[in-house]
Amino acid sequence: MIYEFSSMRTDLGLMFLPKLEKANPDFRLVTDDREEMDYWITDQRGRVLAGVAFQHSATRVVYREDEESPWKSRHGFDSPGIGPVPVSIDFDGRTAYVATLNKHWTCAVSTYDLVAQKQGPVIASDDAFDILDRTNPLVSRDRLLFSRKKQKLIGMRYPTNSVRTIWLDPEMARIQALIDHSFPDALNVISSWSDDENRLVIASYPEGHPTVYYFLDKPTRRLRRLFSSNR
């Protein structure tokens, strides 16, 4: 069963449910697990809209268009061991981001329309490294970068020999280029940003030196050093 507490969603073991319901009336049932899913997926608005189960020779996916609709099976995920695996859903509640094997047998990112049941294009791929992790959806979700301001996926960040960021959003790509021009001898990561995306924190990793954190005010393009720390 999946319960909601405030703005957090979490999977809870069945044995704990009666105690939680009595101890804290703020828990609210989101959905039960009669579909026997291995994990559930929320969209970027926090609604539980899809579930995934790995069943022997196939991957089973169920979906509902909103929290009042019934669960329905989705097709296109049934290739055993090598088929696409959904890991996240966009703000629209229907566009899933899917871990897909490319011709180099690394995990790329593609889209899937959960309403039309139609596989979309590959939007990012790396010949040498997995962008998403098919075996760990929680890790994969953290690699996708969303903008609440723009209400869409704006990039992805994943481990390589270090860390690589792919920006789909032209504005963030321009900011990244500006930072890289300012610190050409360092690995520079836009680690966080405000909801309006006007204030950003940059982590700069110069080879052989402590990490330096900067604050960027985007409207003025003013870059201010915050502090440094050892890795």
- Check pLDDT > 50 for residue 22: no
> Bridge partners of 55?
58
Q: What pLDDT, on a 0 to 100 scale, did the predictor assign at position 87?
A: 94
Strand stretches in the chain, DSSP E: 2-5, 8-11, 28-31, 39-42, 48-55, 58-63, 72-74, 85-89, 95-101, 107-113, 118-124, 144-147, 152-159, 163-167, 186-193, 199-206, 211-217, 222-229
Higher-pLDDT residue of 16, 29: 29
- Check pLDDT > 50 for residue 82: yes
Q: What is the mean pLDDT of residues 185-196?
A: 96
Q: What pLDDT, on a 0 to 100 scale, did the predictor assign at position 59?
A: 85
Span of 7-11, 56-60, 135-139 with lowest mean pLDDT: 7-11
- Check pLDDT > 60 for residue 53: yes
Q: What pLDDT, on a 0 to 100 scale, did the predictor assign at position 153?
A: 97
Looking at the chain, the whole-number percentage of residues with pLDDT higher than 90 is 70
Q: What pLDDT, on a 0 to 100 scale, did the predictor assign at position 9?
A: 40
Q: What is the mean pLDDT of the chain?
A: 85
* DSSP state at residue 14: G
Q: What pLDDT, on a 0 to 100 scale, did the predictor assign at position 176?
A: 97
Q: What pLDDT, on a 0 to 100 scale, did the predictor assign at position 11?
A: 41
Handedness of CA 69, 141, 168, 179 (dihedral sign): positive
144, with CB counted inside 10 A (0-12, 13-18, 19+), is buried
Give the whole-angstrom CA distance, residue 215 versus residue 193.
Answer: 10
C-alpha distances (whole Å) from 21 to each of 5, 48, 67, 98, 99 are: 11, 20, 20, 34, 36
- Check pLDDT > 50 for residue 207: yes
The pTM for the full model equals 0.83
Higher-pLDDT residue of 66, 57: 66
Give the whole-angstrom CA distance, residue 90 versus residue 96.
Answer: 6
* DSSP state at residue 231: -
- Check pLDDT > 50 for residue 186: yes
Span of 81-90, 104-113, 182-191, 208-217 with lowest mean pLDDT: 81-90
Q: What pLDDT, on a 0 to 100 scale, did the predictor assign at position 14?
A: 30
